Amino acid sequence: MSKYCNNASPLTSRISGKHNTTWKRLIRVRAQAQPHIRWVVGQGKIFFWDDIWLGKSALRDLALNDRGCPNALVGDFIWEGTWDKPKIWLLHARAGLPQRATEQILDTPIVDGGPDIPWWNLSRFGDFSLATTWETIRTQRPIIRGLDDIWKACLTTSISIFIWRLLSNRIPVDTKLQWRKMELASKCEYCPHRPGSNQCMERIRSLVRRIFPPLQINDTIPDRLGV
């Protein structure tokens, strides 16, 4: 606390030059992790203003002024296993804490003698997992209707991939390759932009007629090979 937080809450600490690499990484991911951590009050060793133990947000966001010690603990407002009502109601007057929030604090149960229990809000059972964390930070592309059915139609993997590529316009047909400015060595040089044209065939026929005379009825194979 004295080295990295300067006796302040680690949830409000800022990065400085004296911090090591590990602490800097923790500070960078704090904004993604902190909103999903909930606490069940036990001994009260969690931060009163910055930890989320009441509702869905920290008390610092609800109060007008967090007077007093900024790194106060929840245990500072507990007396003999119950809430210290005079101190709680004093927050309503001095810190501008809404009356509804004050009443919710007094109604919050305390695990007497037990530790404070962290709860990962994204998990069903409150346990932290990388899978639920990844879902919150990854960038998702828009869902295309119909593509999801391809993988559920009892098709083979190769057929599913082919249909996916077909619907996504990813099949490398000649038109697609030409659109991507790719030279096709197998295409005729006379009509690269008119694949349906008959101009090529007419040129090929005229070239063949000049080299090979037309076939006659009485022509034999040896006669044709000797031409």
* Average pLDDT per block of 10 residues along the chain, 227 residues long: 74 78 86 89 91 89 72 89 90 84 91 89 88 81 73 84 83 75 62 58 69 62 56
> Cα separation of 198 and 52, whole Å?
75
Range of the domain at 28: 21-137
Distances in Å between the alpha carbon of 43 and those of 59, 80, 117, 156, 185? 18, 11, 10, 57, 77
Question: 66: exposed, middle or buried (C-beta count within 10 Å: 0-12, 13-18, 19+)?
Answer: buried
Name the H helices within the chain.
21-33, 85-94, 99-107, 130-137, 147-150, 157-167, 174-179, 199-211, 221-225
> Does residue 145 lie within any of the structural domains?
no
Q: What is the pLDDT of residue 39?
A: 93
> Does residue 99 lie within any of the structural domains?
yes
Q: How many domains does the chain have?
A: 1
Which string of b and e fits 189-203 if b means at least 16 CB within 10 Å?
Answer: eeeeeeeeeeeeeee
> Does residue 4 lie within any of the structural domains?
no
CB 95 within 8 A of CB 86: no
Torsion angle in degrees (nearest 10) through CA of 186, 189, 194, 198: -90
> Does residue 91 lie within any of the structural domains?
yes
Work out the end-to-end distance of the chain between its first and last CA atoms, rounded to an integer number of angstroms: 100
> Does residue 143 lie within any of the structural domains?
no
Q: Provide the CB-side half-sphere exposure for 214 (13 A, CA).
A: 3
Q: What is the pLDDT of residue 80?
A: 87
Which string of b and e fits 132-154 if b means at least 16 CB within 10 Å?
Answer: ebeeeeeeeeeeeeeeeebeeee
> Does residue 193 lie within any of the structural domains?
no
Q: What is the pLDDT of residue 67?
A: 56
pTM of the predicted structure, to 2 decimals: 0.58
CB 111 within 8 A of CB 41: yes
Q: How far is CA 60 from the centre of its chain?
A: 28
Q: What is the pLDDT of residue 154?
A: 81
User: CB within 8 A of 46, min separation 6: which ones?
Assistant: 39, 53, 73, 74, 116
Counting other chains too, the contacts that 26-33 makes at CB distance below 8 Å and 24 or more residues apart are: 32/133, 32/136, 32/137, 33/133
Q: What is the pLDDT of residue 219?
A: 59
Vertex 204: Cα angle to 201 and 207 (nearest 5): 150
Q: What is the pLDDT of residue 120?
A: 92
> Does residue 180 lie within any of the structural domains?
no
> Does residue 131 lie within any of the structural domains?
yes
Q: What is the pLDDT of residue 139?
A: 75
Q: What is the pLDDT of residue 198?
A: 62
